[in-house]
Each structure stands twice: as C-alpha cells, then as structure tokens.
Structure 1
Amino acid sequence: MTGAAAPRGEPTCRLCGSQHLRTFLDLGATPPCELFLTADALDLPEVTYPLHVRVCERCLLVQLPPLIDPDETFTEYAYFSSYSTSWVEHAHRFVDDAAERLGLGPDSFVVEVASNDGYLLQHVVARGIPCLGIEPSVNVGAAAREKGVPTLTAFLGAETGARVRAEHGPADLVCLNNVYAHIPDVLGFTKGLRALVADDGWVSIEVQHLLTLVQRNQFDTVYHEHFQYYTVLTAQRALATGGLTVVDVELLDTHGGSIRLWARPDAVAGPPGPRVAEVLAAEKAAGLHTVDGHDGFAASVSAIRDDLVEFLIDARRAGATVVGYGAPGKGNTLLNYCGVRPDLLTYTVDRNPYKHGRFTPGTRIPIHEPDRIAKDRPAYVLVLPWNLREELTEQLAYVREWGGALVFPIPRLEIVR
C-alpha cells in the first residue's frame, strides 16, 4: 500500500484517468468501518464519508473515490487475521501448495505484502524458507514479529519495492491476500510488486471477485478501505500497468467468493492458462464486461436492507432479543446502511480482545466477549461475518441449547434454528 490518497475533486478513474464514471452503488455516508469507538468517544462527533461506488465507462474498474488516507486507517488497525481459524488454515494450505508448485525451499525468498499478524508467513518460517512481511500497521506488525516473522513496517510503492529488493534480493514469490482492493495508488503499488518479484518469479493475489459480489448480494463488503472491486478483466488491466501478466486464476470460497490471480513478469509469462479464459467468459456472460451490465445491483441491495430491518423490528415487537456475532468491517457497512442501532441489536461479540469494551462506528453498538451470548441466551444471533458461515455455525452450535436461532443476512435473510 502507498500512503498517499489522490486529491479531492472531480471523480477520476485511478486506473485509466478517465472522468467518465457512473454510479454503481450508493450506500450513503458512513464512518470508516474499522475505527471502533471507545466509551469516552461516544459523546463526540464522528466523521462520515460517502460510500458512493462508481464504474469507469472506459476501463470498467469499479471504484470508490480515495476519500480516506490509508495512513489514517492502517497505522493502528483493529483487524488481526489470526482470530479466524479457518483463514489461518486457508493460509497454511496455500503455503503448502505454493511451495510444491513453485519448488520453494531454503534458497528461496518469499515476500507477503500486507502480512498482518503473520497468519500466513508463520507457515513459511516453519518450512525454513526465508521470508519478509511488509505491513503498514504498527500494532499488527508487532504481533507478527512476536511470532518470529520478519516484518517491515511500511506501505508498498515502487520505492519501497526497490529498497526491499536491493536489501534482500528479488522474491521468488510475492503474495498478497485481500489487499489489492485496499490501494488508492494502484499504479504505484503495482510497480512496487514488479520491483519486488524476480524476473522469473511469481505474484499471487487473492481478492474478492466482483462477479460473486454482485451475484450473491455482498454489498456489505463495500467500505472505505476497499478502493476498487475487481473482475479478472480489470485485474489484468491493473497488473499490466506494472509489467505483470495474469497466467492463471483460481476461484475460491473465501470471503464469500474470491479469485486467486497468478501473475508473472511479462517477459516470462507466456499465454494465459485455460482457467483465465473460463472466468473471463463467466464475467462476460454476467454482463460485467460492459458498463451497462453493472446496472441493477442497487435494487437487490435495497431488498436485503428491507428484509433485515423488517425482521429486527418484528423481533423487537415480539419481545425477542437479537444480538450479533462478530464485529467485522463488512458488518459495520451493513449496520450503518440499514440504520440498525442498539434498540434493534442489543450488542455484538467478537473474539478479538482489541474490540472488547468498544462500540461499532456510527451505530454505537457495544462489543463484548463471545461468552456473553451463553450468559444471556438471546432468541437470535445475527452473524455479521457471514463469509465464515461453516466455521461459525459450528462455534455457535450451543445456541440450540435454549432454542435460539442463527440469522444470516447475506445473500438473503435466512434464519437457521
């Protein structure tokens, strides 16, 4: 990531420079989704920013204006990847598969960009493979170093990439999970990737797929940290600006539906594999290779909001308590867009101790430790990190003991008893 946001003014596509952008989805205005409030801040004003997503009519990149400087969000960050057991396991599988696919060993070098608390590179370290994490957040980077993961506190740009390469040598593999959408300076960041990777190396990028976002009504993954939303087509165009070619793509279930892009420097890339053509064809069939094909998503989003609010109001009228599970960034988009306050959702819980005793931004819903649910025995538990459905359904199985039910708001309202 780079620390500089583009200047305010007329919306301009950050990829191709066009000023011909049109509305894709407008969710009003919300506070930054990871700026959880302390009790002392409850009587203070909160700054909100528009969540108005646009699509470029020229290159089709779906994007938010860069209203928030990443320095404001990522210097002290509330998200620790390791609190999701399934995500750590996913990272472990990736390391095992990548080591076999690329022949990584003690003479290799792996770099992860936005390495968070070492959730992935800890598995690289365990294999005896030299590695380095590049992580802008001071607090989560410190957690990674405590695990024995070498971590540089920095945003990635062309200069940082060149500096790391000069000091450590080129990387055989550069990997980045759920960060390519978080970049306001996508051109500088992509040049940084090319600076890091060896001339015959590989870049692996996991990012949410716009196709599944639309098909599964995942509007709550829209928040200010996500500056753009990719199809394989627009990801190809973005990576090409840094001299990288997409050679393979995998479809993943993570985060409700993601793509894993495998890219290489242009000179060694060769033609894309057959899976790239298959995913491009699916995107085209869904209309996402034309600007008009992006229309209509807003109506589906409104229907999700109406169903959730109606359920919460009916539960309150019936005297049934509804609490939340999780306090993810996506949950804060959902709660703010739907206008949910503590009168409809009494509190939520989270495994991350950083959030305990704090309040959700905008909606000011208190956050407690997970064992609060078993003590209070609510009628309903609204699962905000719905993308971890399998993992959390197992964790919350005890809710059945008192006849409680789980509620999943996305892709459509579902009550599971």
Structure 2
Amino acid sequence: MQFRAMLKEHRARLRYACLALSLGALIAYDSMWPTPYGAHVRSVFGMSNEMSSNANEAHVAIIGGGGNIGSYLTQFLTSANLTVVAFDVNPNIPGLEVAQRHSRSLTRRDLQRFGTVIFLGGCTGRRACAGMSFEERTQANVNDVEDLVSKCDPGQHFITASTSAVSEGRRDALESDEVFSELLDEYSTSMFERENRLRQLASGSRSPWISMLRFGTVVGTSPGQRTDLLVPSLFKSAYTEGVLHVQGYDVMRSFLALPDLARAVHTLILRRKPVQKPGTFAIWNLASFHAKILKVATTVASITGAKLDMQSSVRGYELADPKFKGFSLSTAAFRETFGFEFQWDLQSTLSEFDANMPDSAMPKGSHAPAKNSAGDSIACPVCGSTDSQLVVDLGEQPFANHFVNDTEEALESPRFPLKLVRCRVCNHYHLSQVASRSELFEHYLYRSGTSSTLKAHFDWLAGKVQEESGNLKSGSVLEIACNDGSQLDSFKALGWKTYGVDPAKNIAEIAQKAHTVRVGFWPLDFPELPKGDALTAITAQNVFAHVPQPVDFLKGCAKVMGPKTKLYIQTSQCNMQQLGQFDTMYHEHISFFTGHSFKKAADLAGLEIVKFETVPIHGESCLVTMEKSGDNKDNSLEKRLATERRDGVTSDFFAERFRSRAIAIRDWVTREIRAFRSKGYVVGAYGAAAKGMTLLHFILGASQCEEQFLDFVLDDADLKQGTFCPGTEIPVFPSAHLQTLVVPLRRPVAILVLAWNFFDEIAKKIAHFGLRKRESITTIVPFPEPAVVRLQKDGTHRTLRAMPNDCTSVPNVLRNESRSKTVLVTHARNEDMLMPFFIIQHAPMFDEAFLIDFESTDRTVQLVADYAPACWRVVNSSQGQVFDAEVLDQQIGQY
C-alpha cells in the first residue's frame, strides 16, 4: 500500500519505477543515473523514440508465475506499470491472478502479444532434480525451454534463469569462464545444458533475443515463498528449535536479494533493443553479495539469538556436496553495462527476512502443501472441514490404558496411528483417526479417586458450582463421565441430588453405590434425570475431548437444560498447544480444544459461553461455563481468543514450532535416561498415566531401544499394579516398591516423572518411600519446562539442569527498538586458532561487535571477515602491536 500511494504521487514525472517490496520503498531510475532520465536510458539501452509504438512493448509473460521468484516478479512489474500475465501449472496464491497453463500448452499465437517472455518454471531445486530421471530433468529444464523459445519471434525478448552454481570452484567468476562440469550436481548440470542449448538456438535467424540470468541463491519474502533453501531453513530452525544446524561451513555462495533481482529484470525489460545484437545470446551474473555458509549462519544467530550446531547433518536446506569450496560471481558486466547497483547486503537482507517472520519461513504458492496436508485425516469433529494441517506424528502406539498382567499379551498390544492435526477453518486440534470408543472405555482402569490432588479439586468445583447457582442447599447435578463417583461425592456432601453417566461398567458400578448412575455414552435416555431448571448444573470433566461428535454432545446437554441450568466443561492441559505438551495425545483424547473451537462448537449447539477460565489441575485446565442464553456473559472468552491469536495458535507456523518442540523434548529425555543408565543408575518412572505411555512410546519408537529402557513404573492405582505397560515388558509397581529397591542395591536412582502434572504430590511420595536411607533421588521432569531435579532428604528440590536452546520468540524480542543493545568490544592479535570458536560462541550474544586488532600477521582478520556476523567490525589498534591497557581503555571508550 505504501508503494502504491507513492507511485500515484510520482506518476506524473516518472515513466518507470521499481518496487523493493521488502522495504515498501520507491526507487526511481533517475536517481541512479546523473543524466536526464529519458535520454540517458535510451542511450544506455539503445532504445529509439519509437519504442512505445509497438503495443506489446509493456506486455510481459511470466511462466512459473506462482513460484518463489515468479510471484514476486509479477507483483513488482505490475506495480511498475507493466502489463503482466502469469502462468503456472499450480497457481495457488490468493490475490494474485495466475493462469493455470503449462508452457507446453502455450502457442506462438499466445506469445505474440508479449514483448518479453520470462521462463522461471521447470525443476528448480536440487533435491527435486536428484529425484528425477535424466530424461525427466532434461524435459523439464531443457526441452520445455527450448520448445518455448522456438515459439517466440525475432522481435521478442526471452529471459530465463540459470544458476550461479555453474560457477562451482571459482571465485569472482565471469560469465565467460570455463565451467567445471565435473563439479556440477544434477540440477546445475541441467541448467548448464539449458545455457548450451539456448546458445545454439540463438544462432538461428528466427531466434528472439535471449538473456540468461545466473541467479545467486535467492533470498527474500515472496507471495510464492520457497522455504527449502539455506536462509529460510536457518530462520525456521531458529524460531522452532533455537539452534542453527550448520554443514559445509566453509563453502562460499553468492546470494541475490529478491528486490535486486526484480530491479535487474526490470532493467532488462526497459530496453527494447538489448545490448547484444538482435537474435544473439547473453549470460548475466546477478548477485547482491557473497558469503560463506558460516557467515550467513552467524549473522542469523546475531539477529535471532539462536545457538549454532556445527556437528549436525543437513536439516532440510539444499546445499551442494560440502567437499567443494563453493564459488562467487562477478557482476561487473551487468553493473557496468547497465549502470546498475545491487542495493542489498547480507545484514539488510537477513534483517528484512527476520522482520517478516514467521511468514517468510512458510511455503506458499506452488510450494505450499496440499490443502489437506494431514493426508488421511478425519474431518474436523467440530465444524466438519477437511482442510487440515499435520501438527505432529507420534507414530503407531498401543492404547495408553491397555495394561495387562501378561508380558506376551502386553507386547502384542495392537497399535494405531497417533497424529495431531489442526483444522484451518475453526482452529480445532484433533487426532487424525478415531479409535473404537467401546474398546477404549468399556473396561477402563483409570480411577479419579486415587489422587488427593483431584479430591481437593472436586471439593473446590462443587463449592464453586453451588456458589454460582445461588448457594442452593438442595440443587441437582448431572456429571457426565462420572468415573468412580468421586466428584459426585463432593456434591452429595453439600446436600445435592447426584446423577451420573459413564460408559465403563466396571467403574460405574463403584459410583452406583452412592449415586444414580447410568452406564453408556452421552447423550442417552435418562428417565430419572430432573428436567429443565430442576437440573441445576451439568459437569463434564475430561470427557468432552474424548467424544467423536462434540457438537452432538453439547446438543444433548442443551436438550435437558433449562434457562438457568449451567453447563461446566473442563478439558485438561488448556495450554497444551502453547506449551508443546504432546504427551496429552492418546487415543481416548480425540480433541484438543482452543478458545476458537470451543466457541464454534457452542455456536453450532445453540449454547453461549458465558465464562472461560483456567484452573490449576492436570497442568492447567480449561473450565468453560455455558448457558442457553448469554445474559450473564463476561469478556473472558474474547480475552482468550486474543491470546490465542497473539500466541500464533491460529497459524500454520505454529505447527512447525509444536513439532520441533516435541522432537526436542523427546530427544532430550532420551539422552538424559541413557546418560543415567551409563553411570549405573537404576532408572524408573512414576505415573502409569495415559500421558506417560504416550511419551514412553514416542521415545521407544524413535530410539529403537534394544535394552530395557526403564526398569519399572510406579503408580498407586491398584488396578494397574501388577500389570505391564502397554506394548512393553515394563512392570508397574506401587510407590512402596522404592523401599525394596533402594536399600539392597545401594545404587543411585533416577525417576522419569511421567505424571508431571502431579509433581508435588509425587515428589512427596518419592521422598516418603525412597529417601528414608539415602540423601537424594534424581528426577527427570519433561513438562512444563524440561529439567533434571534432585529431591533432597530434607524435602527441598534442586534443579540440576534444564533443557537448553529455547527457540526465538514470535515476534522476535531482539527487534524491539526500545531495548538496550548489547555490544561486544574486545581485542586480538594472531588468534587464528581460537577465532572460529570465539565467533561461533559469541555470535548469538551481541547486536554488534568491535574487534580491536593489534596488527595481526596471521589469518585472524580474514577469519572475522569470512565467518563473523555481518554486524561485527575489525578496527585497528591505536597502539600498533604494543598492548597498553590504559590506552586500550581509552580506545574502547569510543565505542
């Protein structure tokens, strides 16, 4: 919008203008050339005054207009008053008109109306090309281009892309330099063959003007964003992992900022008659700057605060074989021929990319994933949409509560997919598949009454419901999924009439001893239930997420509610998305509600959310109060919706962060357990909860453990004691097992706390049974903040270490202009052995750095130039080679 407003203001005096989209700034060509604009352009480009007499002079065709470069260029040239028609086999950019055509379908007649034809299609990635056969690559990158050129007339200008990688092995490579074909991969080889074929075609009498552009690695934010290249991958890693995985650190590359690319192409289009003679062929090198891979990574680190991992393998970005040292391009020919200046450098390009995060790291256009990227997922349980996004895949796992007392049966437990997806329409998070409800719940082992923490919560909730219902002493309550009746006990103690529903017959029989309870799935026929306002309240704790049709569930509630009846829906781990609590996923738990999807479900059921609260149980649970009318509604729901939007829960990028967090926690827990086992520890776990089995199998599925990963699991649910964890030979014992375990063996003990949401209660039990004759036991706590915590005999806790590498926040707090900048000032002389390590360690820590050099005679200064962030500077010592602390302090004072 900023550009369009400025363009309108200056249109009267400017014939052509170009757009640097990333800055939203107007750059007029008359500011680049000192002579009068029109005459100078005509003299440089060889244009006659009759240039505009042909109708197609300002008409441009872009084949590949839905891609990374093509979509940006389409917008740029359109804003510069050219008529652009874009074509792509996969147009997928809202707001950008792209015709769905393959280049092969375009006829000579189709192309005649265009003065310039730009081809940016074909196979444009190394990995994609490597996966093709030779014939497929040649067809996409050579034959299709050759066919398109043959349809153009001599008066037209054909522009297409090559790659800077054909200059592999050279520094400051010229367009005329010999190509070392033996160093080229499949992609670069196909581009070099494209150059050779078009050079041959240009010798024919019917050939158009042909310009081939050797692009450096393109960097920028585009409507058709591509994210598998180096820079997007580094930023994505920073924002999802907090770590930059660097390979081929010493490889040199040339890079081309998208705004510079667009200006360069615009420059070529402006001249009707190219510098080369009609019917001839030219290659032009285009690059904004050159840098080694490590310098790019350290600059990203300085911008984002992410740490550098120099040992890792490639993590998604495309990079040629690291045994080669790379290349750099000389752009002198293009600059001198057209009086052109590349305006973007490493620091400005990466800073602009970061300013557009996370949008700049998400694939779009022809690179965007299919609408239903979750594959075979069910439709959204709330709104029915099939537009879903895969969030995380935890592999195939057994039912989390399938505890049996036979090892063979446990090992043969059937396994089912466990994937979390997000509905892009209503922002509901749910499992991709629904397992059989009857198999899961008809013989259920979970009992709510075994936890003192839960008993206290039940008393609190009963009191809250009574207070919000006018302190009735004889109210009536229906609890859906009443389990063993523990919550109903709390209501009964207040004098209320109690009714319950539960599908697990073995558990419901316990509740039936004191309450009116029906066995089955809600909604069901319940003749004894009070009708209308005679039913004071309905509670549904940790069940709403289990039902396949939550809207029908709510409609069943609405049917028995009166105008004053209150419905209390509680779901666990209310912030599981924001906190990355993937262990909440198990087959019972179909849905993971957000404020957005709660609202959608209530709307569809004809109910109003009057209050949205969080309560400190099961981590932090959502407690949503609904009524038939919204007369008592407060603004808590609106606040929740705003928080979710701020946190990014409604965006595609959020799934990338969630997935990376899950993998990071899994890997960290695995490393900690293996480290303890290697030191001779007895390693067990506490809490045979469903969430614990999810984490356990996510670890086992990835690590392919052959040894007994855990020696035991402790749990005080008597129905689980004496059984084996689903799919394993790991036995379940009561907490008292610690007494028999610790004393005879005299070995140190480490406990993975699987039921971490009851950590305080568990810590007391571990201390009671495990610390009678020893000083401490070490625990591994995976959530909410992964840490190793030592439990002391005196009842205190001590955190030994926490999981490192927090990811960069969205938005990046380091971009806050009001904060104080962190500046490093240091000095060195002949430190080439240590300098690379110094740079890697300190790059994420400082906004700027000044290194005072005492006339180093080794490679110290060169290493800073090669590897340090672009914001680091080397300044000469005012003392020459002689070090004087007082004089140095005076020089430092300048900074």
TM-score of the pair, normalised by structure 1: 0.91
- 1:246 is matched with 609
Within the alignment, does 1:75 sit opposite 2:437 as a pair?
A: no
Identify which of structures 1 and 2 has the higher relative contact order when contacts are C-alpha pairs closer than 8 Å and 6+ apart: 1
- 1:318 is matched with 679
Match of 1:367 among 725, 732, 737: 732
Higher alpha-carbon deviation: 61-70 or 83-92: 61-70
1:235-271 C-alpha deviation (Å, 9 max, x unpaired): 1111222111111111112111211101101xx2237
Output the CA distance in 1 between the equivalents of 2:706 and 2:430.
Answer: 28
Output the CA distance in 1 between the equivalents of 2:529 and 2:516.
Answer: 14
Within the alignment, does 1:168 sit opposite 2:549 as a pair?
A: no
1:135-177 C-alpha deviation (Å, 9 max, x unpaired): 111111111123x1221111102xx1xx336753232201111
Letter in 2 for 1:155: F
Q: CA deviation at 1:347?
A: 0.5
Within the alignment, does 1:285 sit opposite 2:646 as a pair?
A: yes
Output the CA distance in 2 between the equivalents of 1:289 and 1:280.
Answer: 10
The answer to whether the 8 A contact 2:403-2:410 is kept is no
1:108-152 C-alpha deviation (Å, 9 max, x unpaired): 221010011111110111122112011111111111123x12211
- 1:264 is matched with 627
Output the CA distance in 1 between the equivalents of 2:540 and 2:706.
Answer: 35
Match of 2:765 among 395, 404, 415: 395
Match of 1:203 among 567, 573, 595: 567
Letter in 2 for 1:207: T
Letter in 2 for 1:366: P
- 1:334 is matched with 695
Q: CA deviation at 1:311?
A: 1.0
Match of 2:585 among 214, 217, 222: 222
- 1:93 is matched with 460
- 1:232 is matched with 595
- 2:750 is matched with 380
Q: CA deviation at 1:285?
A: 0.6
Residue 605 of structure 2 aligns to a residue whose secondary structure is: coil
Output the CA distance in 2 between the equivalents of 1:246 and 1:318.
Answer: 53
Output the CA distance in 2 between the equivalents of 1:209 and 1:335.
Answer: 19
- 2:722 is matched with 357
The change in CA–CA distance for 1:43 and 1:332 in structure 2 (over 3 A counts) is closer
Q: CA deviation at 1:368?
A: 1.1
Output the CA distance in 2 between the equivalents of 1:165 and 1:209.
Answer: 34
Residue 346 of structure 1 aligns to a residue whose secondary structure is: coil
Match of 2:413 among 46, 50, 71: 46
Letter in 2 for 1:409: P
- 2:745 is matched with none
The answer to whether the 8 A contact 1:60-1:291 is kept is no
The answer to whether the 8 A contact 1:75-1:137 is kept is yes
Within the alignment, does 1:416 sit opposite 2:416 as a pair?
A: no
Output the CA distance in 1 between the equivalents of 2:465 and 2:706.
Answer: 44
Output the CA distance in 2 between the equivalents of 1:224 and 1:152.
Answer: 24
Output the CA distance in 1 between the equivalents of 2:400 and 2:707.
Answer: 17
Output the CA distance in 1 between the equivalents of 2:561 and 2:651.
Answer: 33
- 1:348 is matched with 713
Output the CA distance in 1 between the equivalents of 2:559 and 2:652.
Answer: 33
The answer to whether the 8 A contact 1:304-1:412 is kept is no
Output the CA distance in 1 between the equivalents of 2:389 and 2:752.
Answer: 34
Residue 356 of structure 1 aligns to a residue whose secondary structure is: coil
Output the CA distance in 2 between the equivalents of 1:331 and 1:44.
Answer: 17
Letter in 2 for 1:177: Q
Output the CA distance in 1 between the equivalents of 2:763 and 2:706.
Answer: 24
Q: CA deviation at 1:44?
A: 6.0
The answer to whether the 8 A contact 1:22-1:55 is kept is yes
Structure-to-structure mapping, 1:287-306, within 5 angstroms: 287-306=648-667
- 1:4 is matched with none
Within the alignment, does 1:61 sit opposite 2:422 as a pair?
A: no
Output the CA distance in 2 between the equivalents of 1:341 and 1:256.
Answer: 32
The answer to whether the 8 A contact 1:105-1:128 is kept is no
Letter in 1 for 2:549: D
The answer to whether the 8 A contact 1:165-1:195 is kept is no
1:78-132 C-alpha deviation (Å, 9 max, x unpaired): 1000111101110101101211121253542210100111111101111221120
Q: CA deviation at 1:45?
A: 2.4
The change in CA–CA distance for 1:43 and 1:187 in structure 2 (over 3 A counts) is closer
TM-score of the pair, normalised by structure 2: 0.43
Residue 412 of structure 2 aligns to a residue whose secondary structure is: coil
Match of 1:31 among 398, 402, 426: 398
Output the CA distance in 1 between the equivalents of 2:377 and 2:771.
Answer: 52
1:294-345 C-alpha deviation (Å, 9 max, x unpaired): 4321101111111111111111111111111110000000000001687221
Letter in 2 for 1:136: P
Where does the alignment leave 5 or more consecutive residues of structure 2 unmatched?
Answer: 1-374, 743-747, 791-895
Number of equivalent positions = 402
Output the CA distance in 2 between the equivalents of 1:292 and 1:302.
Answer: 16
Match of 1:188 among 552, 560, 563: 552
